[in-house]
């Protein structure tokens, strides 16, 4: 496999390198598009997986310090692509084995069922992945503020006096997940305005360029699922609950109670607020990794998270079709 979950520090450069290798290996099945540049000039990449005429969108790496999800999501794209690419060959091998009644094919049969499901998913949908929306924040959190090459931006970040490992923001010190136009959004200071950040604009452009049937934004910590949207109708939330329950079942994560959707005094402007309020379609936030985990997040969470969320895309596609 191209993406190695045991790799040491997973830099933005390594991420780009893996993305390019995957695009080459799975030509047509995976297509990459640059959807914008961060403020410190790093490309923001969209990976399109599948051949379907319908779309849904998955993002992660909105907050810099949440460093587990980007590599896990990329590894899962490869997992789905690999199953799709080998499906027909595997099916032929299994079919010939099934003709021989003396051969027991238990686990192989289960694998083939999964293969059929993923094959059909990627025939129906093209999944739009933005695994690393905030590459500047990601690199700050992994390696420190000298990763910001623009001196003015670096000074601005340093002036916030936050340890680099705890860094949630982008390369201009803005929390992208409070920057999306939405009903609850309020300015946090006199210079604050909605969609001021390149990363925000990049994701909004994906939402508008493809008519996504649903959206999931992966964050960390808490092993929980935010499904409830206070600003949306009961009917909308009933559907969200059905989806949330299913995703809870396959991940083992908890559903967050409606009253806990937004903390008292929070200014709103999350990715999921924008998507739900503009398109009225399902939008959920999934928090990976234990609630008690500290930053920097341990690399051991990569494999655990991979196993927990592996089937989320498959399940989500089935639920929103
Ligand atoms: Zn987050």
Phi and psi based region of residue 150 (left: phi greater than 0; alpha: psi -120 to 50; beta: remaining): beta
Average pLDDT over residues 240-250: 98
Residue 305 forms part of a structural domain: yes
266 vs 42, higher pLDDT: 42
Residue 48 forms part of a structural domain: yes
How many domains are there within the chain? 1
pTM listed for this prediction: 0.96
Query: Are residues 44 and 130 in contact, defined by beta-carbon separation less than 8 angstroms?
Result: yes
Distance 106 CA to ligand 1 centre (A): 40
CATH classification at residue 86: 3.40.630.10
Distance 194 CA to ligand 1 centre (A): 18
Residue 7 forms part of a structural domain: no
Residue 63 forms part of a structural domain: yes
Average pLDDT of the chain, as a whole number: 95
| Alpha helix segments (H runs only) across the chain | 12-25, 68-98, 106-124, 135-143, 151-158, 198-209, 234-251, 271-279, 301-309, 312-320
Mean pLDDT is lowest, of 82-91, 99-108, 292-301, for 99-108
Residue 1 forms part of a structural domain: no
Distance 286 CA to ligand 1 centre (A): 9
Distance 98 CA to ligand 1 centre (A): 47
Domain of 225, in residue numbers? 12-320
Residue 299 forms part of a structural domain: yes
Kindly list the protein residues that place their beta carbon closer than 5 angstroms to ligand 1, a single-atom ion: 63, 219
Condensed to tens digits (0 to 9), the pLDDT of residues 199-213 reads 999 999 999 999 999
Average pLDDT over residues 181-188: 92
């Amino acid at each position: 496999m191209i993406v190695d979950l045991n790799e040491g520090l997973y830099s933005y450069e390594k991420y780009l390198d893996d993305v390019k290798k995957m695009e080459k290996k799975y030509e047509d099945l995976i297509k990459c598009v640059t959807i914008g540049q961060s403020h410190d000039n790093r490309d923001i990449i969209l990976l399109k997986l599948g051949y379907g005429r319908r779309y849904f969108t998955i993002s992660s790496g909105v907050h810099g310090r949440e460093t587990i999800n980007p590599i896990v999501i990329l590894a899962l794209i490869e997992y789905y692509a690999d199953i799709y690419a080998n499906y027909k060959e595997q099916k032929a091998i299994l079919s010939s084995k099934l003709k021989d009644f003396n051969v027991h094919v238990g686990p192989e049969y289960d694998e083939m069922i999964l293969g059929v499901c993923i094959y059909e998913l990627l025939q129906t949908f093209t999944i739009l992945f933005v695994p690393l929306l905030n590459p500047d924040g990601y690199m700050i959190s992994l390696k420190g503020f000298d990763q910001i090459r623009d001196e003015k931006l670096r000074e601005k970040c340093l002036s916030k006096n936050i340890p680099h490992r705890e860094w949630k923001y982008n390369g201009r010190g803005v929390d992208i997940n409070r920057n999306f136009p939405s009903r609850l959004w309020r300015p946090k200071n006199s210079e604050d305005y909605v969609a001021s950040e390149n990363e925000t604009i990049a994701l909004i452009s994906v939402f508008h360029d493809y008519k996504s049937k649903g959206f999931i934004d992966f964050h960390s910590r808490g092993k929980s699922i935010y499904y409830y949207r206070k600003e949306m109708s009961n009917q909308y939330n009933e559907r969200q609950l059905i989806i949330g329950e299913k995703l809870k079942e396959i991940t083992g994560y908890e559903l967050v109670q409606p009253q806990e959707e937004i903390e008292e005094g929070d200014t709103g402007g999350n990715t999921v607020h924008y998507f739900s309020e503009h398109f009225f379609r399902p939008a959920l936030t999934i928090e990976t990794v234990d609630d008690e985990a500290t930053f920097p997040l341990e690399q051991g969470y990569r494999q655990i998270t991979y196993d927990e969320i592996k089937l989320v895309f498959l399940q989500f596609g089935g639920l929103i079709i």
